[in-house]
Amino acid sequence: MKNIYKLYLLAFLFIASPLFAMEGVAVIDMRTAVLSTQGAADAFKALEEDPDYSSNLEEAKSLQADRQAIAEKLQKELETLSQEEIAQMQKDIQDKGKDLEFLAGKIQQAQEETAQAVFAQSGPAMQKIISELIAAKQIKVLLAKNETLLFSDSSLDLTDDVTSMLDVAAAGAPAQTD
């Protein structure tokens, strides 16, 4: 009996989705829209060129490689090592893991700060663009993509439209200030 209800629900969703489109329902992934812009790409490229950030990345890669090498050596030589050597190698792996976690946190924080700066910079333009799209496409309901959305037709997704319009707005911004 439950399967019949699921079948009816799926049939309703497939039949009703074009009706929702006619009624002005759209979805958007604002994070993807903003982080897919050229401005975001430039901000993250600048982050990668930042000496502290790139130093942290290199150190993290080095720690990971050292940790992996110790783990492989431990695995290969396990039977020939003394208990003290095994304990020391395990401690080294653990210490490098803690250092790696710390660096990963710093790297993630820098990335999140960059993303937040891009969002703050794009916020007013994005709100204006979304308002214009709502009016132009006669949208009555705008849903956040990936927020408990069970189904959406890709033609309803405004994410790429917003990204393109944000890039156009950003390209036009310097010309307006001259």
Residue with the bigger pLDDT between 157 and 118: it is 118
Quickly list DSSP for 76-95. HHTTTS-HHHHHHHHHHHHH
For 15-36, what is the mean pLDDT?
73
Q: What is the pLDDT of residues 96-131, one digit of tens each?
A: 999 999 999 999 999 999 999 999 999 899 999 988
- N-terminal to C-terminal alpha carbon distance within the chain: 68
Joined tokens for residue 4: 């019949």
- Which pTM does this prediction carry? 0.66
Joined tokens for residue 63: 């720690």
Radius of gyration of the chain (CA): 25
pLDDT score for 1: 52
Domain extent at residue 150: 2-177
Q: What is the pLDDT of residues 31-78, one digit of tens each?
A: 899 999 999 999 999 999 999 999 999 999 999 999 999 999 999 998
Q: What gap in Å lies between CA 64 and CA 57, rounded to an integer?
A: 11
Q: What is the pLDDT of residues 143-155, one digit of tens each?
A: 888 776 656 677 7
The answer to whether 138 touches 23, Cβ cutoff 8 Å, is no
Helix-then-strand count for the chain, H and E: 6, 2
SS3 112: helix
Q: How many domains is the chain partitioned into structurally?
A: 1
